[in-house]
Structure 1
Amino acid sequence: MPRLIRLLISLLMLGFIAERFGAGVLERLEQVDWRWLVAGLLITVAQVLLSAWRWRFTATRLGLSLRRGVAIREYYLATLINQVLPGGVVGDAQRAWRHSHDAPRRGPAFQAVVIERFSGQLAMVGLALGVWGYWPPGKALTLPDGWLSGAVAVIGGAGTIIVALALISGRRPHWLIDWWQALRYALLAPRVLPVQLIASIVVAISYIGVYACCVLSLGPESSPGTWLPLIPLVLFAMLIPASIAGWGLREGAAAVLWPLAGLPVAEGVSAAVLYGALSLVASTPGLITLLRR
């Protein structure tokens, strides 16, 4: 999808939400408890450190060296770029490209980033789907068909790709063999898959924790058990590559989901706005890496 269209989608959705719920959102934001936002900011530090470790682990499985300090700096820079440019993957492509300069072959550097991101997205999709197994007592979760079909499409597509790679005949092209081998070594190996999944699930939980801090900063009247299951679904909406850093899609998902749980829509949208702003602030250490180049 062209970047201009992603920008327009974000602006149009944010404009619509501001027109419908702007007054209530502003009133909520005036009562923010900043201590919870500081806690959320601290969680993002641990989040980047673990994500950088996951990248190093993946790269090592592919025979590449990646120093811890370099991985952390590059991950912050990639996060910053993803926050300000449409698509959410430009920063990751850039860190793969820079890492490839120090590698004997460029392919494994890109494979390490793709596999690392893929592992993280699988964990987030899994947590989002897990919400259907839990819902606060007395609340009926009725989501649009698009949510379920979208989730099934993501998981089904990923599974189809993996199975296809495994079953393709010996006449498969060299690059396909190369990617299949990379998946085997860096993700699917019996001793590797549990490590990847645990790291990715912890990272996904950290995203949920940051969002929970944004909700708690608004002083919600309901218990966390009511709104906590909504967060993975909102974050899942951000995986759709049709906006800038999830802006618009995140707020729109919150505007739909919060009323389904009997919660004020302004609370959900306000938390989504805070999450977006906090994520941008959390990525600012990437400026240090940018200025050093």
Structure 2
Amino acid sequence: MITHKKFPNDFVYIEIENSSAKAKIALQGAHLFEYKRVGEEDILWLSEISDFEKDKAIRGGVPICWPWFGFNEDKNLPQHGFARTSMWEFVSSDEVSKGETTLLFRLVHNEQTLKIWAYKFELELKITISKELKMELKSTNLDKKAFKISQALHTYFNVSHISEVVIKGLGKKPYLDALTWQKEMQDGDISFDSEVDRVYQEVDTNIVLVDKNREIKIKNTNSSSAVIWNPWIEKTSRMSAMKEGAYEHFVCIESANAFDDSRVIEPKKSHTLIAQIF
């Protein structure tokens, strides 16, 4: 079942429910902000005080960072690009079975985007809601010249407590520590007792989030980079749309094409970043 809904301020979203899972996706940003399998706790974390307002990014769920990840060289441009606050078109849906629903969203260059980023493009997000969550972000170059993108599906995972979390699959992988801007090598699994902000490269295996009561696997395709982030105590207190102590209940594992893994897309060509969560 697919239902179009609005918050009292006319902020529009789509609610999907099938025999496997339910989900909610805002048209602004094609932002998936809820995914919950039947009989289980939420997979995604969403801030209790997140904004659902025009031109404001939602805190939690899966923001789409595009066409750049992080800060642009021009610091006057929005962090993580413009896709996450743009209004997308809901193109179609398909109930493949009682337990699987696919949805397609599209963002195309317009007068506003061309002022920020002078390229013509088509960006499509296909989301499959079933016992697993699959997100396929397809970037197509409609311009006459090549362009370079970096991007991320900035997934916030709901966890019992950050102290209970271990992330496997990134051992012996190089990473850039964004807190020190030093290049490091991961020694063993990742656990948390302070702020972590790292961009891993040469990622070629599944990432596994081990929590107190469950394991979640993340498989990335057409990607060799991944971002691990938790802001910890001090930074959380300075961030918008986050309550004190919010850092305790999420960790971000971002499927990415970031830094060394940025991609050049030639005219009339496409690149599809795929993330599967199961």
Length-normalised TM-score, structure 2 = 0.28
Compare relative contact order (CA 8 Å, sep 6+) and give the higher one, 1 or 2.
1
Length-normalised TM-score, structure 1 = 0.27
Whose strand proportion is higher, 1 or 2? 2
Whose helix proportion is higher, 1 or 2? 1
